[in-house]
Each structure stands twice: as C-alpha cells, then as structure tokens.
Structure 1
Amino acid sequence: MGGYIIKSIIISIPLLLIISFLTFVLFHLSPLDPAEVVLQAQGVPTITDELIAQTREELGMDQPFFIQYFDWLVASSQLDFGVSYVTGKPVWSLIGPAFLNTLKLTFISSVAMIILSILLGVICALKEGKMIDKSIRGISFFLTAMPSYLLASLMIWYFSVKFDLLPTSGMGSYKSYILPVSVITISYAGIYFRNVRNSMLSNLNEDYILYARACGLSEKKVTIHILRNSLQVTISIFGMAIPIILGSTVVIENVFAWPGLGSLSVKAILSRDFPIIQAYVLLLAAAFVLFNTVSDILNAVLNPKIRNGL
C-alpha cells in the first residue's frame, strides 16, 4: 500500500510542474508589455519607455523567460506569489484569508452535498420506478438546470427580503452560511446523487446480493453491503466534486458578497492584477491534483485490486 501511495504522489509531481508552467505563461500571453500592465494597474498617469524599462528591471522581467519561471516556481513553492500590482501588498496576505474563507464554505457545502447525495441516491435506488424516485429526479433536474445565481437570488428574496430570516451577505455569523451552502448543495447534490443511484442499481443485480438474501440476511444489512460497494465507485466522483465546488464558488461569493477567493479573483481580473490571478489559478489546479490523488489512494484502500494493478 505504501508503494502505491508513493507512486501516486510521484505521478502528480510532473502534472503540477506542467500546471505551474502554464500558469506562469498566462502572465506573458497579454498583448501588452507585462511592465506596462503593472504600471496601468498602479494607476500611473503617464507611461514612458524609460518607466517601462525601469519597472521591468525592478521586477526582474528583463531576465530570460526560464530564469523568471524558475525564480517564480521556487518562490511559489514557499507560498510567496509576489506583490499585488494594485495594492502593493504581498499576494499571500490577500489571498490567504480569502482562501481560508472559501475553504470554509467549500468544506461545509461538500459535506452537506455528499450526505444529501448519498441519502437521495439510496432512496431512489431502493424505490426505483416508484413515485418518490420519479419526483426526486424530476425536482433535482429542474433545480440543477436553474443557474446558481438565479437560485441564489430567489432564496435571498424569499428568506432574506420577504421574511427577514437570514442575512443577504457577508459571513458575520453561522446564519451567513445557510443560504450560500444551501445553493451549492442543491446545485451539486442534484447531479451527484444520480451516480450513487446508478451505482446502487448496478449492484442490486449482482450475484452476491442474491446470495446474501438467500442466506437470510436482513434488508438493512443487504442495503449496507450495496451502499459500501457502491461508494467504492462514487468516491472518485465525490473526491473531484470538492475542487469543482472550490472553483465554482466565484458566482456564489459574488452574489452573497462572501469575502473569499472567488470575489478576490474577480477584482484581480478586472484590475489585471496578474500575481493574484496566477496564485488563484495555481491554487485551484493544485487542489484538483491533490484531491484526485487522495481519491485514487482511498479507492486503493477500499479495493485491493487497484493497488495490486489488477
């Protein structure tokens, strides 16, 4: 098992390097001179060639491309993403607190989404073809087809404006989590519960279920066996759902004025604050690789055939 874990980690390293390189290239794809972008972001009224050359030298942009990339990669591995072009503050001092706020929202939403997906998936699988199964799938199809910003706006109007039960923005108390978490959970549980349902239905037709029932096992124990084997298939899906939620909180954070990574990244894009954009892209990409590796390892723990290469 230890060898499989080491192998998974080693495989992820080249992928992270490729992602970091593409992230750094993003900065140089701008049609403007990077130094000119810096000066524009800082609001310099008159940009001259001498000022551009001075800025390039101060920020090390006059160095060869691969030297710039290597220096940036070493610094980024230490969470030093440079300085914001707009505020002049270290990027991590801005993105760190925002990243933490987004992680809180993502973690709570992911837990709620996984629990709801498993619950709905089990109910629909056990009641296949019946009214409750059709109703849940119909309602989930309608809600997941609805844009998240529209669902969020409707919930704000109903729970905050009409009945004044929940705050509309910020993260002042636990009540501030209810609306954004509900929107994210509803949007994604309607997608992922189908995977649990389909996996359970495929296991219901397996020979071991027929044998278990023939041996006199209760339906409760049979259901537990089905769910356990079904989760081996869906664990990778749930593992990748977490970074997807992490990256898709941009809309929700802007609707609810959540002081997270999504709100910060939108401001950085509008002001062309490239160090923050680079840090945002790199962190999200690293999260995808991390959770993909973790889900592979968890699958190997649950299924010996995977770690033995069978």
Structure 2
Amino acid sequence: MIKKGILRIVNVVIVLIGITFLSFSLLYLAPGDPAETYIRGGDGNAGTVSEEAIQAQREKWGLDKPFFVQYFNWLGNILRGNFGESYTTNRPVLEEIGSKIGPTLILSVAALFVTLLISIPLGVLCALYKDRLLDNICRVFSFIGIAVPSFLSSLLLLYFFAIQLNWLPVVSKGGFQGLILPVTVLTIQCSAKFIRQVRSIVLEQMNQEYVRGAIARGVTKSKILFSHVLRNAWLPIITLIGIYFGVFLSGAAIVETIFSWQGIGQLAVEAVGRKDYPVIQAIILWLGVLYVAVNFLVDLSYSLLDPRVRLGKGENK
C-alpha cells in the first residue's frame, strides 16, 4: 500500500513536469510576438513604434533568451510561488487567476451536483427498464444533448429565457439567477453522456454471474440492486465523477464567455486573444494540477472503498 502511494506521487510529479514543459513549448512555438502585440496595443499599426522598442520589451520579459533558459527560469519562479505578471495588466498572475477561481468552482460544483442528481437515477432506471419508454426517451435526450454543441444550446437558452421571456439576466452578475443558464447548459451536455454510461455500467453488473445466482436463490430485486449491483457499480461511477468534474473546470470557457460568467474559462479566452503568455501558462498549469489531483483522489478512493485494491489482489507474490 505504501509502495503504491509512493509510485502514485512519483507519477503525479512526472505528469506535472510534463504539463509544464508541453504548455511552455506550445506557447513558445505559437505564432505571433507578445512583445509586439503589447507595444502596438493590439491594433496592428506597424508604423507607430520602432523595432528597437519591441526588442527592448522582449528583453524586459526575457523573451530574447534561448528556449531552455526561458523554460527553466519560468519553472524556477513557479517553484518559488512566483508566476510572474500579466503582460497586459501588469498585475501578478496569481491575483488575475485568484479572482476567477471562485466563480469557476461554484459553476463546476453546481453543474456536477445537478448532473449527478439527474444522471445517476435515470441511468439506473434505464438499465432496469431497458428498451422501455423511459429508456427510449433518455436515448433521444442523449442523442440531442451530444449532437448540439454547447455554444448553440447556450445561445438558444439565452435568447428564449433572457431576451424573449425576460425571466433571467442576459449578463450574469454572479448571483443565483446568473448561475441557472450556464449550469443548465453544462448539465445537458454532460448528462447526455453520463446517463448512458451509468446505464451501461449497471447493465454490465446485472449480467454478472453473482446476480443470476442471487435471482436463483430468490433474493428480491430491490436487495439485488442496492446490496449488490449498485455497490459494485459505484467504483466506475466514481471515476466518471472525477472525469466530469475536470471537464466542468476546464471545458466551460465557451459557456462562461457567452453568459459573461467571470471565471477561469473567460479569462483564458481573453488571455489567448491578448497573447498574455504568463496568464495562459498559469491557467494551463492550474487546470493540469486539478486534473491530476482529481484523478489521484479517485485512485485513492478505489483503495479505500475496494478491499481487493487495498490488499493488492491479483499482484504477483
């Protein structure tokens, strides 16, 4: 158990180092010059500034140095807790991100809660009543939810509920009303997949030998479901919960932008448009850390909830 824990921690460190290197490399190779964008004010007017001014800005930010020098300088600063300053606002990057983490977490947790509240019961019911009316309705819902992109469903809901009916604000101000539409969009997108996945997991368990044996012994269906099927189906469902929480945290950029939700996703879109590399790198690293942390906790929960994993069943002795 201790050996597995150490190996997991080592794997986490390796993954995080890989994330820092890949994110820095991709931005380094990206077209465009952030120093030139900053000096020209983003208007592309080539005749108003000199090349010397642009070069001076590159030197100020350290962009004139070789790749590995830039990377290790940046990595060393991060290890000391210094993420640098935003190229456009000159504020510390941690301040830029810190004010956006809260709204994104609120949106993600709310969307995950509603998704679980809807998807798990419906997925179980669809498995119990396979090919019945409810199962067919959920299939249609899943097909539509997966087929319709989030930006389209966001615009449709915004137009109908905010503009036509005037029930909800067009521009979110961070309150409960402003949370309803973005949570609805994220819930539709993920519930469409989650319901089918829970259904498949439960059906797989219901086809196992131990279920047929319990039925032959005369065990009631409700006891089989709650004492056996759901108990064994819970572990893969926990994995799905971890995956979707990461999806909510990192994949809500379009939804946050459309609904003016002041979160990490909207900040990332703005930073990409401004070529604000320190902010982009910090956001990628933050999302990477969250993904790794969630997966680590899911892996740890397996060891705590499943004695076979905790005891290392199946390993060579």
Q: Structure 2-normalised TM-score?
A: 0.88
Per the alignment, residue 273 of structure 1 pairs with 276
**2:23 touches 2:281 (CA, 8 Å); kept in 1?**
yes
Distance 1:201 1:255 in 2: 38
More off after superposition, 241-250 vs 23-32: 23-32
Kindly provide the CA deviation profile for residues 176-205 of structure 1, in whole angstroms up to 9, marking residues without a partner as x.
111111110111011011111111111112
Q: How many residues align?
A: 310
SS, match of residue 281 in structure 1: helix
| Cα distance, 1:165 vs structure 2 | 2.2
Match runs of 1:27-106 below 5 Å: 27-33=27-33, 35-40=35-40, 46-106=48-108
Pair 1:24 & 2:10 matched: no
Q: 1:243 to 1:60 in 2, by over 3 A?
A: same
Q: Is 1:250 aligned to 2:253, yes or no?
A: yes
Contact 2:127–2:203, Cα closer than 8 Å, also in 1: yes
Alignment partner of 1:7 is 2:7: yes
Instruction: Go from structure 1 to structure 2 and tell me whether the alpha carbon gap of 1:124 and 1:79 turns closer, same or farther (over 3 Å shift).
Output: farther
1:176 aligns with 2:166: no
Counterparts of 2:108 and 2:37 in 1: how far apart (Å)? Answer: 32
Could you list the per-position Cα deviations for residues 137-195 of structure 1 after superposition, in whole angstroms to 9, with x for gaps in the alignment? 11221122111122122222332233322222213421211111111011101101111
TM-score by length of 1: 0.90
Aligned partner of 1:298 in structure 2 is 301
In the TM superposition, 1:224-243 aligns within 5 A as 224=226, 225-243=228-246
Deviation digits for residues 42-77 of structure 1, max 9, x if unmatched?
779744343344333322334443332222113224
The 5-angstrom pairing of residues 154-165 of structure 1 reads 154-165=156-167
> Which among 121, 128, 131 is matched to residue 129 of structure 1?
131
Is contact 2:42–2:274 with CA below 8 Å preserved after alignment?
Answer: no
Cα distance, 1:42–1:139 mapped onto 2, change above 3 Å = closer
Q: Does the aligned pair in 1 maintain the 2:169–2:178 contact within 8 Å? A: yes
What corresponds to 1:286 in structure 2? 289
How far apart are the structure 2 equivalents of 1:309 and 1:6? Answer: 18
1:250 to 1:70, Cα distance in 2 relative to 1, 3 A: same
**Range moving further from structure 2, 84-93 or 26-35:** 26-35
Could you tell me how far apart the structure 2 residues matched to 1:282 and 1:204 are? 41
- Preserved CA contact (<8 Å) 1:196 1:231: no
CA offset at residue 126 of structure 1?
A: 0.8
- Identify the residue that residue 196 of structure 1 maps to in structure 2: 198
More moved, 250-259 vs 225-234: 225-234
The 3 A distance-change label for structure 1 pair 41 and 215 is farther
Cα distance in 1 between the residues matched to 2:24 and 2:293: 20
Q: Is the 8 A contact 2:34 2:277 kept in 1?
A: no
1:148 matched to 2:150? The reply is yes
1:259 positional shift: 0.7
Contact 2:103 2:263 in 1 (8 A): yes
Segments of 5+ residues of structure 2 without an aligned counterpart are none
Answer whether contact 1:36 1:47 (CA < 8 A) is retained: no
Q: Is the 8 A contact 1:204 1:226 kept in 2?
A: yes
**Contact 1:124/1:197, CA 8 A, preserved across alignment:** yes
Q: CA contact under 8 A between 2:34 and 2:276: conserved in structure 1?
A: no
Q: Compare 48-57 and 178-187 and name the one that shifted more.
A: 48-57
Q: In structure 2, what is the Cα distance between the partners aligned to 1:72 and 1:257? A: 31
Residues 172 and 242 of structure 1, relative CA distance in 2, 3 Å threshold: closer
Query: Cα RMSD between the aligned structures?
Result: 2.3
Give the whole-Å Cα distance in 1 for the aligned partners of 2:2 and 2:100. 35
